[in-house]
Every structure is written in C-alpha cells, then in structure tokens.
A = this chain, B = another copy of it.
Amino acid sequence: MARPLVPLISIDALVTAALELVDEAGDFSLPKLAKRIGVSQSSIYNHVSGREEILELMRGRIISESPYEIRGGDWEAALRTIVRSYRDAFARHPRLAPLLVLQTVQDHQVLALYENLAVALESAGFRGRDVLSAISTIDSFALGFALDLAAPDVVWAPPSEGFPALASALSNAGPADERGEAAFEFGLEILIAGLHSLLRSTVL
C-alpha cells in the first residue's frame, strides 16, 4: 500500500490510542501505538514529530477534557475551580502524570490555565515576584497530587517495622482512592488558607 486517498492516521485517533495504552499499561511505545491503530511504525512520523509531541498532545487532550468555567466569584473561588479542574484531568488518567514531568509545557490550553491562575492571584492582591511564586506553589501542589494518584502506595506501603507514627497514620486511612481524595481536599484547604494568611501579613 502507498498513499491512501483518505489518510489512515488522524492525530485525534493517534492521541486517543496513546492515551488508552497509558491508561492500560502506564506507558506507550511507538510500535505498540502503531499496532493499535493498524499502521506502520514509521508512518506516525508523517503526522507528528516524535514521542515527545505525542506526550504533549496527550497533555492538551486531558486538559480540554476537563473544562472549567470562571465567572463572577472571587479569586478564591476561581483558584479552587482551576486547581480542581487540573487535578480532575489527571484523576481520569493517573498514569499519564509521571510521563509528563520530564517535559516542558507547550500546550496552549495549559498555558491558558496558568494565565487564569495569574489573573486570579493578581485580583487577590499578590504583586511582583509573589505572583510567580504563588503560581509555582500551586503548580507544585497540583502536580504532586496528580503524581500521588498514579502511585497511591508510594510512601504508604506498610513499612514492616520501626515506623510507629507512620503505621498508626496508615491504620486510620481508608482505601487508596478515598484517602487520595481526602488528602487533596485537605491540601486545597491548606493552600487557600495559606494564601489568605500570607496576603494578610503582606498587606498589613
């Protein structure tokens, strides 16, 4: 077969297949991706520059699958909405997060999300370099929780012995997804309260 009348590959289908692979196996490879969409490995390069671009396309896809709307409301509400949406995006595809940490964000949708964060923070009263620091903090926070979803048992694998406080904390926790949820809500409250507190001490 040579060039078909209708392209065999659409970027949309490519990204969908790649996301399926990640959801199922926690990773994807070009050979497997090619097999899944029934095409040769090398033909993928006619549509995409390589593995990195596919990863970046997946980032864009999951963000746009988790739309958010900021209307009216104060900065706190806006911030909650944005962080929650970001986190929900990864909650739907937990195994994608680890693959994206090595990559520079280029996706337009994601940049727009950060722009909205910046606007919210300015309206809150943060100025100068604090805006960037606050974005950084929120980003670290959200990314960390996204990663937490991918590896619910990272730290929490019961250490066999000698860590009593940790063991006791563990015994009080429910199933992994429940405590992931609880931790996120807890963390979001801390983040918001911390921002309020810093705002107070800065303004005064």
Contacts and interface: CB of A to CB of B under 8 A. Distances in A.
A187 B156 CA distance: 24
A83 to B, nearest CB: 12
A179 B147 CA distance: 23
A182 B129 contact: yes
Interface stretch (A6-14, A15-23, A42-50, A161-169): A161-169
Stoichiometry, copies per complex: 2
B101 A136 contact: no
A189 B182 contact: no
Interface stretch (A65-73, A74-82, A112-120): A112-120
B139 A144 contact: yes
Interface of A: 98, 101-102, 104-106, 110-112, 114-115, 118-119, 122, 128-137, 139-145, 147-148, 150-151, 153-157, 159, 162-166, 168-170, 172-174, 179-180, 182-183, 185-187, 189-198
B194 A131 contact: no
B173 A137 contact: no
Contacts of A195: 190
Interface centre among A128, A137, A170 (most CB of B within 10 A): A137
Contacts of A170: 132
Nearest to A196: B197
Contacts of A174: 129
A186 B136 contact: yes
A136 B148 contact: yes
A147 B194 contact: no
A155 B154 CA distance: 26
Given A155-B114, A189-B198, A197-B193, A140 B145 contact: yes
B136 A140 contact: no
Given A140-B140, A193-B198, A186 B134 contact: yes
Given A144-B140, A182-B133, A186-B133, A169 B98 contact: no
